[in-house]
Amino acid sequence: MAPLPPVEYAVAVERYLAAVGLGDGSRRVYRIALRTWAWALADRPAPTGPERRRAGPPVLPLALLDHPEAADRLRAAVDRRSAETDPRTLNRELSTLRAAVTWWRDQGWIDTDPTDGLRPRPLPDPGHGPAALTPEQLRALFALRVPLREQLLWRLLHESGAPVETVLALDVDDLDLPHRRTHPSAPPLTWQAGTARLLPPHLAGRPSGPLFLTDRRAPATTPAADRCPHTGRARLSYRRAAELFTTHTPTHTLRHLRPRP
Backbone angles phi and psi of 72, in degrees to 5: -65, -40
Across the range 129-138, mean pLDDT stands at 76
Is the Cβ–Cβ distance between 195 and 155 less than 8 Å? yes
Residue 72 region by backbone torsions, left for phi larger than 0, else alpha for psi between -120 and 50, else beta? alpha
pLDDT at 82 (0 to 100): 75
Question: Does residue 47 carry a pLDDT above 90?
Answer: no
Question: Does residue 49 carry a pLDDT above 50?
Answer: no
The residue ranking higher by pLDDT, 242 or 110, is 110
Contacts for 114 with CB less than 8 Å, ≥ 6 apart: 65, 70, 71, 73, 74, 101
pLDDT at 50 (0 to 100): 45
Count of alpha carbons within 13 angstroms of residue 234, beta-carbon side: 18
Candidates 231, 196, 194, 197; CA nearest to 212 is 231
Q: What are the Cα distances from residue 261, in Å, to 13, 21, 102, 164, 258?
A: 36, 32, 35, 17, 9
| Strand extents, DSSP E, the chain | 175-176, 181-182, 213-217, 233-235
Question: Does residue 195 carry a pLDDT above 80?
Answer: yes
pLDDT at 28 (0 to 100): 81
Q: What is the mean pLDDT of the chain?
A: 86
pLDDT at 148 (0 to 100): 96
Question: Does residue 125 carry a pLDDT above 60?
Answer: no
